[in-house]
Homo-oligomer: A and B are copies of this chain.
Amino acid sequence: MDGRTREGDGPAEGERGGSGPYEAGRSAARAAAVRAWQGMNTLLMERHNRRKTVADALGMSFSRVRALRRLAAGPIPLRELAERMGSDPPYTTVIVDDLVRRGLAERVANPADRRSKLVRLTEEGRAAAARATDIMSVPPDALLDLDPEDIEALDRIVAKLLR
């Protein structure tokens, strides 16, 4: 908490309705934040949703693509893959089965625990994951056409948001 919260907690001295310059600034910032957030949603979810594009390009459903990209970082037990993807183990088994059938992944023994198996991408699997990332990483034209300063600013702010 920062100390300023104190002043903002209620209507300050002599304020009608608690909307002094500070409050006004805060709510303006909040409004801008909401607008920006809605805008990003529109942009990413409606205008440039790449799910279908990647899925079509790789000839597999998007859940497989997600798994591929997770696994690109390195082999992990199926259990962990399930957790990271937010799906349950049985469904994760289905996904991994599919990837194995396609020759994109393989199950290897986990020396640390013989109950579990590590899911590891094959060479082709890594290539497919890279292809997926390539497709999804292409920014929309509107973004590429921004002034360099705007692009830098966006890059910087987004990095902050991800921290």
Chain A contact residues, CB within 8 Å of chain B: 25, 28-30, 32-45, 47, 50, 136-140, 142-144, 146, 148, 150-155, 157-163
What is the bound-complex CA distance between A155 and B160, given in angstroms?
15
Closest to A84 in B: B46
What is the bound-complex CA distance between A44 and B134, given in angstroms?
18
Asked whether B155 lies within 8 Å of A43 as measured between CB atoms, the reply is no
Contacts of A158 in B (CB 8 A): 35-36, 39-40, 43
Closest to A46 in B: B66
A–B pairs, 25, beta carbons within 8 Å:
A25-B148, A28-B148, A32-B155, A33-B139, A33-B155, A34-B138, A34-B139, A35-B155, A35-B158, A36-B151, A36-B158, A37-B138, A37-B143, A38-B137, A39-B159, A40-B40, A40-B158, A41-B50, A43-B158, A43-B162, A44-B44, A140-B161, A143-B161, A146-B160, A150-B157
